[in-house]
Structure 1
Amino acid sequence: MKKGTEPPPHVHEREDELFYILSGEIKVFVDGQVLTVAAGESVFLPKKVPHAYLIQSDECHVLALMTPGGFLNAINKMNAPARTMKIPSDMETYATADLTATMEVFIKYGVRMLSPNEVAAQLPAYPTVH
């Protein structure tokens, strides 16, 4: 993952998530806490608890476990064939893309993006501009 490609604050209705950081560092916002998680460390994000993360290093390599399975079906609904074997420099990120279609797919799989009011109330330390 590259800095700036993080998903917006969201909540999973079905899956628990566990991130094990292989390299780099992320800042996690969950349950009123702000956690810095670096290489060799992990963080558990329980279902039904709003959360977000921001990559602190230029890149971060993460092993993600989501249980029960099924969320990757949502990701697969949005996949597009690669144009080349390199990451495109013009790749849209969550920060630049229109998320309407993404949100419609995610909601079918139990993932909901938080509104700005929900972010302010439930993740007060999450920066509004990052």
Structure 2
Amino acid sequence: MNAYDSLVQQAQKPPMRLFLDLPTWIHAGREETGGSLSLIEQRIPSGFASVWHTHLDEDESFFVIEGELTITIGDRSLVVGPGQYAFGPRGVPHGFRVTGEQTARLLLLTSGPRFADFIAETSDPAEDATPGKPGEPDLARLFAAAERHGLALLGPMPD
């Protein structure tokens, strides 16, 4: 395989995974970027809230393709809709809630590969699970992986 074939192969949509029962795609991570970033796509239903968390050594960016999020970064909240972007610097607690009426589709970009590593470790191939069948997350699995991948899980989103 030559360099062009490698680029074409990377351009194909990756297989769907389920992270917290959410359809998730790891578009880029350690292997695809030489360890420089993570690019994750998710589809998230209205009302879902992420865990309040901090990336210890990576910045996180949010780009909304469809739907609407309320993103809280530190003590500030902002509403982000289609085509809009928000930035969460490393070391600052943050999270989001899907506040629009429709399912949100978003891209999450981190300035290193550890977030993709975390998602890969704590998600399952879609063929091994059924989307839309929410269950209790395996908290021990999440907390152990978070610690290994530079994340601090702080609890539920603040109101």
TM-score (norm 1): 0.77
> How do 1:8-27 residues align onto structure 2 when only pairs under 5 Å count?
8-27=51-70
Counterpart for residue 103 of structure 1: 143
In structure 2, C-alpha distance between the alignment counterparts of 1:56 and 1:28, rounded to whole Å: 10
SS of the equivalent of 2:109 reads strand
The yes-or-no answer on 1:113 pairing with 2:153 is yes
Which structure would you say has the larger RCO, counting Cα contacts within 8 Å and 6 or more residues apart? 1
SS of 2:126 mapped into structure 1: coil
Q: Percent identity?
A: 25
TM-score, normalised by the number of residues in structure 2: 0.64
Aligned residues: 115
The one-letter amino acid of 1:102's match is L
SS of equivalent residue, structure 2 residue 108 = strand
Tell whether the 8 Å contact from 2:51 to 2:155 is kept in structure 1 after alignment.
no
When you count strand as a share of all residues, which structure comes out higher?
A: 2
1:123 equivalent in structure 2: none
Consecutive aligned runs of 4 or more in structure 1 exceeding 6 Å deviation: none
Offset, 1:91 = 3.1
Change in 2 beyond 3 A, CA 1:7/1:99: farther
- 1:13-70 per-residue CA deviation (whole Å, 9 max, x = no partner) reads 0110111111111001112111111111100000000011101123111122111222
> Which runs of no fewer than 5 residues in structure 1 stay unpaired?
120-125
The structure with more radius of gyration: 2
Please say if 1:34 is aligned against 2:77.
yes
